[in-house]
Structure 1
Amino acid sequence: MTEPERTVRERQDGDLAVLAAVLKRVHAHDGYPVEGVADPRAWLEHPHEIQSWTALVDDVPVGQVTLTEAHSEDDAARAWIERTGGTVTDIAVMARLFLDPDHRGAGLAGFLILALRHHAQLIGRTVVFDVMAKDTAAIHLYDRFGAEQIAEVTHRFGDGHAEPALVYAFPVPRLAG
């Protein structure tokens, strides 16, 4: 049996229906996202999207990540600004990262993160994001990729719900001189 072909590319509109179904499986498996998946396609189409990427196995979408413009109401943006004194124009927010549970462990989540970080570097932004404290597998992934925890916050959502969360930033890569 041949090894499946695993790739990452910029997300296309045709990926959204399949990714919405994957998101429902992820939510059933992990409880991510905490806001639920009543309208998964709308959740995938982030209003402040800069760029999104899709992970594929044999040309079938199995996961994705989105880089978004930062806004002062973002938990991650607020924490980073408080810590560094920077502005929202210095950062971009990693959001909407998920991978089908059946396709984890093959490196695809890491490749999604690398694609996002590379794009952020090209546009001169530091990547910040938050993760629910309950999502320990995601936290381990971010730790392995060198993310730095910069704050603890309470993520508020829905009708008065709250969830402890951690805010991270990826260090800006430095070029050897």
Structure 2
Amino acid sequence: MAHATLDGVLIREREAADLHRLVEILRTTHLRDAYPFRPEAAAPGWLVRHSGPSWVLTVDDVVVGHVALDRSDPQRGAEIVRYFLAPQARGTGGASMLLRHALHHAIPDGRDPWLVVMPHNVAAIAVYESAGFVPDGEGGWTDPDGTWHRVLRYRFSGPVEGQGVVDAPSAPSAPSAGGRPPAGAGPGQVAGRTG
């Protein structure tokens, strides 16, 4: 079912047939932006590991972006996860459209939508802050080798309509996470899996 259209641009629910193209995009965003953080996460299993709806952005019937919601913890509200756009589609307004779409579906949960991002992704952080997300803590996880990976948590507090959501021309894909800590995360760390 189509949810939004504009001259060849369509947001629709993700289908199983979209996974191959989405994995291709993830491999590109991993090399360019370190998203997902781990190269092995550029796989169908990682894309579908969330508890909520997901959508793709298409331009002239070609999948160019993705976003999903994870509602696995109703006390925390919907987390925006697996949000990314093919590099060639950035700067077109598509990322804004996709983010607004996810926010419209997340806000009825009654709690502020949120997301996590790795600190190295400064362009994505700028996009989120321009869109109305505000810092809301940090944490991370420790790999088995002892390497600490820091993540920043952002909560949405801005308007969904109008000027509240923007698309930076060179903004990298937005690192996102699931609602559970990754393997190796210690007690007291922010729940969030960046791939």
Deviations 1:13-57 (A, max 9, x none): 2111111111111111111111223551111011x3211110111
Pair 1:113-2:77 in alignment: no
Q: CA deviation at 1:90?
A: 4.6
Per the TM alignment, residue 126 of structure 1 is displaced from its structure 2 partner at its CA by 2.2
CA pair 15-164 structure 1, distance change in 2 beyond 3 A: same
Instruction: Report the equivalent of 1:66.
Output: 68
Which deviations, in whole Å up to 9, do the C-alpha atoms of 1:74-107 show, x marking residues without a partner? xxxxxxxxxxxxxx43511111111111110111
The answer for the alignment partner of 1:55 in structure 2 is: 57
SS of 2:113's equivalent in the other structure is strand
- TM-score normalised by length of structure 2: 0.71
**Greater fraction of residues in strand:** 1
Cα distance between partner residues in 2 of 1:11 and 1:140: 27
The answer for the alignment partner of 1:26 in structure 2 is 29
* CA-atom RMSD in angstroms: 2.4
Q: Sequence identity, in percent? A: 35
Could you tell me which of 109, 127, 134 is aligned with 1:148? 134
User: Given the two structures, how large is their TM-score scaled by the length of structure 1?
Assistant: 0.77
- Shift of residue 173 of structure 1? 5.6
Q: SS at 1:64's partner residue? A: strand
Amino acid at match of 2:32: H
Unaligned 5+ runs, structure 2:
1-6, 161-195
- Report the Cα distance in structure 2 between the residues aligned to 1:142 and 1:92, rounded to whole angstroms: 16
Q: How does 1:1-177 map to 2 (within 5 A)?
A: 5-37=8-40, 40-46=43-49, 48-71=50-73, 88-157=74-143, 160-171=146-157
Distance 2:85 2:106 in 1: 21
Is contact 1:121-1:172 (8 Å) kept? no
Q: Number of residues paired by the alignment? A: 155
On the 8 A contact 1:35/1:157 being kept in 2, the answer is no
Aligned to 1:81: none
Structure 1: gaps of 5 or more residues? 72-87
| Secondary structure of 1:89 counterpart | coil
